Amino acid sequence: MVKILAKGERAASPGAQLPDAKAGRVARGLKIFLEKTSSSSVRQGRRQRWLVSPDQILAPAVSFATARLRGTVPRAAQKFLTESAWDDLDRDLLTRLAFALTPTLHLQQKAAKAVTRSLRPIAQSGERRLALHNDITLLETIIEFPDLLETAARLISAWIDAQRELFTRLLRDRSDLCSVFLRARQPFRVTHIRARLSDPHDGGKTATMIEFVKRRRIIYKPRLSGGEELWFEALRWLNRNGLRVSFRVPKMLSRRSYFWMEFLQTKGCESPTAVRLFYFRWGVQAALAQILGATDLHRDNWLAVGAQPILVDAELIGDAEPTLFRGTSNSKHRQSLPALLQTGLLPFTSRDHAGFYRGIAPLDATIRKAPSPTCWPRYGPVAQEPSRYVDDLVSGFAVVAEVFGFPRTAQRFFREVVLQTAGQDQRVLLRATAQYARLLRESFDARNMISAGDRWRHLVRECCSSAANRRVGLAEACSLLRCDIPKFTRRRNARPVSWKIFSAAIAELKSSSRFLRSRVVLGAGRRRS
């Protein structure tokens, strides 16, 4: 039996908000800090500010969190972090806090403006003028909306832990990072840190770009590297076994629960022939995605680097779809869709009965061209859309169908690539990420911040009403309470793809070739500019 797990989750009681001792200490410390800074502002004389931005209101919380982080970072790590890197971290936390707290701050500002307008005639007609202001403070807001303090504290607590973990790993892997990604004599100094390159999971952790002196950059991914290892080993196998084009494989440095990856920069094609080679390679990889059971290969997971389409996020490789998946009664189970459509490379239609998925798939002709998608190749200043190169896509796809049409070749690939991949816990999708993002965004509404525990009760109600079962719904609510996108895994003892599903996907390759052609040109004539 497949056991579905939420990473780090335990069964939760829906009646009360989950205790978080660390976040509780942060909440108490933040409130004391805000009270002190507020008292200081009053002593200095409060200036009237008719327009106060959320960034200004949240600045004290960012200062509190950064000071707390600086006080706990190892001294050795402090030495390689520049002030510009700390500035980046400040902006990152400010963005996270603004996303969660701005709805309530806006409501508080509207209320303050309304009070100011109502008192202005009284002040002007009185013997002495009243000092009116419609600015608000974070302290005033958390007093009015107690759950806002809990939400901010959870965000700050998780953010501090995530940054400390990143610094510790940078320090531990310093020597290997220098030998694999950086020049030997280059100073190990971090000049910029750009977080939020992925959804937050497991306590606010996201893929992060680390920039060193002389603009040398690497990508940090705080998760297992099994999907990338399988995908790029499959490309190496194709390189070794006589496919008439080669594939670029990024450098990687894998650890037990995280990995570092080469930073890749988008680059245009040098000729029309290079564009055709790009789409031929993409056709090959589309076929590979089908036989490896890949999912969620949306446009943001691909990067066009010259004549090379490169998959930069291969977490969802393998037949990991649980049997308890699906929300609405009129939706098909994902595994009832054509194998190629399951990959996320192609758009859905209403006849698929599988939900909305337009403008998201990388091979969708209806993607808006402004701004140009980074997954499409460029020749000169113009993005080259896939519908113009459908013959090259299909040719690449057909080559893989021909190669794996020989049973011995398919068996050798399965033995040399799939079976050599170490068994790891494998991520599964129980909802679309966009649905989780909507649930998270709605939980930040001011009406869910009025009393302590309101946001938790809202999340439990919303998640449990639409989840596959109550246990899953509670686990989803726990993750969303921490401002994470829920991440579920199942334990995998052996292989990422079973031989049964692998061989069935190969048998479907020939019909998928025709399906690929029809979907790539879908909507090309009525594309929106």
Q: Residue 165: pLDDT above 80?
A: yes
Q: Residue 15: pLDDT above 50?
A: no
Q: 431-462: per-residue pLDDT in tens? A: 888 899 999 999 999 999 999 999 999 999 99
Q: Residue 327: pLDDT above 70?
A: no
Taking the C-alpha atoms of residue 58 and residue 90, their distance in angstroms, rounded to an integer, is: 11
Helix axes 390-403, 272-291, angle to 10 degrees: 40
pTM, full prediction: 0.88
Q: Residue 5: pLDDT above 60?
A: no
Tokens of 236: 């190496």
Q: 412-432: per-residue pLDDT in tens? A: 999 999 988 756 677 888 888
Q: Please report the pLDDT score of residue 11 as a whole number.
A: 40
Q: Residue 326: pLDDT above 60?
A: no
**CA neighbours closer than 13 Å in the CB half-sphere of residue 397:** 28
- The larger pLDDT score, comparing residue 134 to residue 283, is at 283
**CA neighbours closer than 13 Å in the CB half-sphere of residue 332:** 16
Cβ atoms of residues 366 and 359 within 8 Å: yes
Taking the C-alpha atoms of residue 460 and residue 474, their distance in angstroms, rounded to an integer, is: 6
Q: Residue 183: pLDDT above 90?
A: no
Vertex 114: Cα angle to 113 and 118 (nearest 5): 115
Q: 459-491: per-residue pLDDT in tens? A: 999 999 999 899 999 999 999 999 999 999 876
Vertex 181: Cα angle to 180 and 183 (nearest 5): 95
Q: Residue 275: pLDDT above 50?
A: yes
Q: 386-397: per-residue pLDDT in tens? A: 999 999 999 999
Mean pLDDT of 246-257: 96
Q: Residue 321: pLDDT above 70?
A: no
- pLDDT category at 496 given cuts 50, 70, 90 is confident
